[in-house]
Structure 1
């Protein structure tokens, strides 16, 4: 009987990581008649005024702005917005190529989203089907299917909870019992050392630091069209928060492509050594 392949989890932020900018800026914000600056300024001002979480206030502003313009607040309307989100170069082809590479190295690659963006919009993108689970902000819907209240709000600190859910194989967002149950590290479905976290900004720093300090690999990406971005992101390496910094270009042969394949090679070799050591003991 063939032994199951060990799982490697690739965990991505979305905005600025797989797609340039914020997902609301492609369709939703123009539809409510706001500029990007206006919308985010209003959401942030509300957070400061009420001493509230900025993720919750942007979600509140989405509902308020859509209602004021008579726009649909149905799940499908948000998903329709997702169909207009542009992706970085090579993202569409990335998943199949990395899955195949991992399989040839004896690894099972699984992809996750861990985002402060909106799950419903991500579900409408052309790559939604590539992910085992999308952890992101989402709305509650009434009996008529209309969004009326936040269901999940993902900010920079509570993002880390989803790393532990992946680590322990607990996929439900609402389950707080199993994720807190003690499980020896070697019995967890996805050990931290077999995680690769990809993010671009401050909301990802706690996750990137957690994965790196726990033996995994963290990659900070930046918009390749933005001048000086690599220099700015290099500070994360100097601060010991990430392992690597590279452009958000996922095409074959790119720096990102070669880096992730090399990390998979390392994970595969480490796993082989672990197995050899286990046999000797």
Structure 2
């Protein structure tokens, strides 16, 4: 008998990280640790493209900051930087109000009604970021995240001829040397489809494989994408076109961010926007809770309608009950005279 791959009773909040969950960029604690001026690093990163162009090179803007971090390591400004240090720096990331408690308490929304529990509905949280995965994994938010898509580095890369070696030397000191994963604002959409198809839960499912809508783990209409601005327009578009919800946040202290989000809504890029405040009863928390509950209600309705359409009515006795006989007599009206009486 054919069966679906997943029950589609999962709701997903998919989060950007920098300026969405935190006020600034996550790399700030890393720069402080090594005494690197943050403004100078980003100014250099932004100038790389033009300077390399003058020298006849072409460089992707999205990969520039990762390469520049590696250059700082090789030049000695960040000597010894490894994934362990990145995780340690992640512990110093400061979040917007209400976090990380919001990520834990919000899961209860999918259990708020008996019918939600009956259908085993769950709320999951995912981070999809152009930042550094190891810093997210080292942060206070990590225990409440179901999976992270972000940039990653490789320490001590394998050398030529490694396939012929039986053993590899144990390195006393590790240092990042290569880019392992690069996430940019366009490839974020790939992560969304991996969540959608369940690739992260079942590696046998390739993100490029054709998977019918009913076999996908989390339909796009069960997703809410939350981010801070125009760089996330590709992800906003994918989720919104798929029937999901999109929400932009802004720093309440920054009017320009408020105006930016207002333009996104006017242009139809997002469904709504609000301050990056995740405390209980804030406007943002209330809006997200409302959307999650609406999605839960739809999941319940869809699953119960599917059950009703697939289950035949039980057989009934042909003899009417006394109540049915009385109703039938009443419907016929007064008894008419007959020549047979």
TM-score (norm 2): 0.76
Of 72, 88, 91 in structure 1, the residue corresponding to residue 96 of structure 2 is: 88
The match for 1:112 among 106, 126, 134 is 126
**Alpha-carbon deviation of 1:124?**
1.1
Following superposition, the deviation at residue 5 of structure 1 comes to: 7.8
Return closer, same or farther for 1:70/1:114 CA change in 2, 3 Å cut-off: closer
Aligned to 1:248: 276
When residues 93 and 153 of structure 1 are mapped into structure 2, their CA distance, relative to the original with a 3 A threshold, is same
* Corresponding position: 1:166 with 2:169: no
Tell me which residue corresponds to 2:215.
187
TM-aligned CA deviation for residue 176 of structure 1: 9.9
Could you tell me which residue of structure 2 aligns to residue 65 of structure 1?
Answer: 72
Cα distance 1:86–1:116, how it changes in 2: closer, same or farther (>3 A)? Answer: same
Shift of 1:92: 1.6
Which residue of the other structure, out of 78, 85, 107, is the alignment partner of 2:86?
Answer: 78
1:11 partnered with 2:14: yes
Counterpart CA distance in 1 for 2:230 and 2:78 is 34
Q: Deviations over 1:222-271 (max 9, x none)?
A: 11221242222111111111111111100000011101110011102222
Conserved? CA contact 2:11–2:296, under 8 Å: no
- Give 5+ residue unaligned stretches, structure 1: none
Alignment check: 8 A CA contact 1:63 1:73 kept? no
Structure 1 position 233 matched with structure 2 position 240: no
Gaps of 5+ in 2: 1-5, 158-170, 311-341
Give me the whole-angstrom Cα distance separating, in 1, the residues matched to 2:268 and 2:238.
11
Matches within 5 A, 1:96-175: 96-105=104-113, 106=116, 107-142=121-156, 144=171, 145-171=174-200
Q: How does 1:47-58 map to 2 (within 5 A)?
A: 47-48=49-50, 49=52, 50-58=57-65
Larger CA deviation: 46-55 vs 195-204: 46-55
Contact 1:222 / 1:246 at 8 angstroms: preserved in 2?
yes
Secondary structure (helix, strand or coil) at the match of 2:27 reads helix
The alpha-carbon deviation at position 32 of structure 1 amounts to 4.0
Q: Which residue of 1 aligns with 2:46?
A: 44
| TM-score, with length taken from structure 1 | 0.91
Please list the CA deviations of residues 175-195 of structure 1 after superposition, one character each: whole Å capped at 9, or x if unmatched: 797111111111211000000
Deviation at 1:56, TM superposition (A): 1.6
Q: CA shift at 1:88, angstroms?
A: 0.2
Q: Among 24, 44, 48, which residue is 2:27 paired with?
A: 24
Q: Tell me the CA shift for residue 167 of structure 1.
A: 0.4
CA deviation map 1:190-232 (0-9, x unaligned)? 0000001111123311101110111001111111221242222
Q: Does the residue aligned with 2:286 lie in a helix, a strand or coil?
A: helix
Following the alignment from structure 1 to structure 2, what is the Cα–Cα distance between the partners of residues 44 and 129?
33
Tell me what 2:250 maps to: 222
- Aligned 8 A contact 1:111 1:131 in 2: yes
Which residue of the partner structure matches residue 275 of structure 1? 303
Q: How many residues align?
A: 276
Greater CA radius of gyration, 1 or 2? 2
Please tell me whether the aligned partners of residues 13 and 225 of structure 2 are also in contact (alpha carbons under 8 angstroms).
Answer: yes
Judged with a 3 Å threshold, the aligned counterparts in structure 2 of structure 1 residues 5 and 155 are, in CA distance, closer, same or farther, namely: closer
